[in-house]
């Protein structure tokens, strides 16, 4: 997966917006105003994704490219280095998991 494929997959999710709220290189994807994925446009290609805390620990133990979320709540966020060690299908599943966690936490009136 490259950065363009990552972006395309994120924006296919229902009610997703993209913006640069922090600086000119940090691309953030939100659903109903809440972040579910972000990346820096500068190399190396890494993405921050929300994750269930227990699963986050399991992923970090199993995959060297999965680390505690950089500049994020380390319990709920992972930073995934896109180095070719994870399949595109698995990366999409991690992105979907992050999106689904945010949607599940939204009040009924804000759910897409």
- Rounded Cα distance between 95 and 13, Å, is 10
Of the listed ranges 44-53, 57-66, 82-91, 101-110, the least confidently predicted one is 101-110
- Domain of residue 76 covers 3-104
Does any domain span residue 112?
no
| CATH number of the domain that residue 46 is part of | 3.90.1150.30
Query: Quick one: pLDDT at residue 59?
Result: 98
Query: Quick one: pLDDT at residue 9?
Result: 98
Predicted TM-score (pTM) of this structure: 0.94
Does any domain span residue 30?
yes
How many structural domains is the chain composed of? 1
Task: State pLDDT tens for residues 3-54.
Answer: 999 999 999 999 999 999 999 999 999 999 999 999 999 999 999 999 999 9
Does any domain span residue 47?
yes
- Return the beta strands (E) in 11-94 as ranges: 16-19, 26-31, 34-40, 46-50, 66-68, 77-81
């Amino acid at each position: 997966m490259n950065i363009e494929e990552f972006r395309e997959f994120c924006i296919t999710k229902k009610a997703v917006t993209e913006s640069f709220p922090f600086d000119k290189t940090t691309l953030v994807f939100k659903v109903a105003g809440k972040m579910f994925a972000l990346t820096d446009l500068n190399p190396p290609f890494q993405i921050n994704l929300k994750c269930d805390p227990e699963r986050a620990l399991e992923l970090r133990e199993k995959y060297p490219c999965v680390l505690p979320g950089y500049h994020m709540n380390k319990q709920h966020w992972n930073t995934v280095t896109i180095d070719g060690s994870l399949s595109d299908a698995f990366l999409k599943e991690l992105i979907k998991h992050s999106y689904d966690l945010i949607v599940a936490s939204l009040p009924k009136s804000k759910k897409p």
